[in-house]
Chains A and B, each alone.
Chain A
Amino acid sequence: KAGVTQTPRYLIKTRGQQVTLSCSPISGHRSVSWYQQTPGQGLQFLFEYFSETQRNKGNFPGRFSGRQFSNSRSEMNVSTLELGDSALYLCASSKRTTGAGELFFGEGSRLTVL
């Protein structure tokens, strides 16, 4: 079956702009999580959505937001982009029916902020 699909794969923005990233989870997976990966900070948890509700949130400023639709697809938005937002943004999905966080990751959206 198809894996986690993230679009776009690469994008370049300038400071002050905003960006929206999209994630389509594996069919049947209702939980979608987002992570930011940078060389300096590594992988950091942004937030998790399940049944269109944010269930967990990491320590990121309010410029980072997300949502989940009724078909489990998710988007994340970053407003007023800063140079430090340049990163690989990874989406992961899971069934969330068992008691542990086994995640299936997409290939990521690589954001460059100039």
Chain B
Amino acid sequence: AQSVTQLDSQVPVFEEAPVELRCNYSSSVSVYLFWYVQYPNQGLQLLLKYLSGSTLVESINGFEAEFNKSQTSFHLRKPSVHISDTAEYFCAVSDGSSGGSNYKLTFGKGTLLTVNP
């Protein structure tokens, strides 16, 4: 069975500081990896995804994540955060080898990123 561990439940940072949100997964098969963001009282929005190819993936708002197969990690980074980045971030994994089950996502418990002025 797949599992996702987000190592930090809360990460407070100051505005314009860099941030890294850590994610490790456990799976015996090939995987697809995702980061979703949830703003207060809203649903989840896809931030970025790794399906195949380049191990470094980027979002349109400056976040990036790197797939590291040997370390089974998919950490999320941003070189300079803004107040508006305050939200909860969820790492998720799905089975990349089976066409029937790769629409079931296993989520981590989430990391609350708080950006302070």
Contact = CB atoms under 8 A, between A and B. Distances in A.
A42 B110 CA distance: 8
Contacts of A42: 107-110
Interface residues of B, number: 27
B68 interface: no
A64 interface: no
A8 interface: no
A63 B96 CA distance: 30
Interface in B22-61: 32, 34, 36, 41-46, 49, 51
Interface in A46-66: 48, 50, 55-56, 58
17 contacts: A42-B107, A42-B110, A45-B105, A55-B103, A56-B101, A96-B103, A99-B102, A100-B96, A101-B34, A101-B102, A101-B104, A102-B46, A103-B44, A103-B46, A104-B46, A105-B36, A107-B41
5 closest cross-chain pairs (CB), A and B = A105-B43, A43-B107, A101-B103, A105-B44, A42-B109
